[in-house]
Amino acid sequence: MATDCIFCKLANNEIPTNLIYEDDNVVAFNDLAPQAPTHFLVIPKKHYSSLNEISSQEEFGNIFSVVPKICAKLGIKEYRTVINTGASAGQTVFHIHVHVMAGREFGWPAG
C-alpha cells in the first residue's frame, strides 16, 4: 500500500465509500465525477501505479474478470472500459483503475 494513495485508502476501508463490489483482490465503487449515467471504477487492493506495473496475467485478470460480473449484476449489457496510463493520457490518480461507463452513446475516437 502506498501511504499517500487515496485509492489504497478506499480499498482498505480507511476512507468510507459505498462499494458496489469487493473480493479478496479488488473493489469497485462509483466515480465521484461520473462521465456517464453509470460510471464506476474497479481497482486492485494491491497498489500498482499504472498498467505499466502489472506483470502477470493473474494480476490483470483479477482486475478485469470482475467487470462483466458487476455489469451483469447491474443489468448492463453494453459498456465502455478505459484505463488511462500516465498523466498525458489523463491518469490523475496513480493507482491503476478501470473506468466502466454505460448508459449513453460513446463516440469514436475516444480522445
SS3 label, residue 20: strand
Output the CA–CA distances (angstroms, integers) from residue 35 to 26, 61, 71, 103, 105, in the order listed. Answer: 22, 25, 17, 10, 11
Q: Do the beta carbons of residue 100 and residue 81 sit within 8 Å?
A: yes
Q: Assess whether 97 carries a catalytic annotation.
A: yes
Among residues 39, 47, 95, 97, which one is catalytic? 97
Catalytic residues: 97
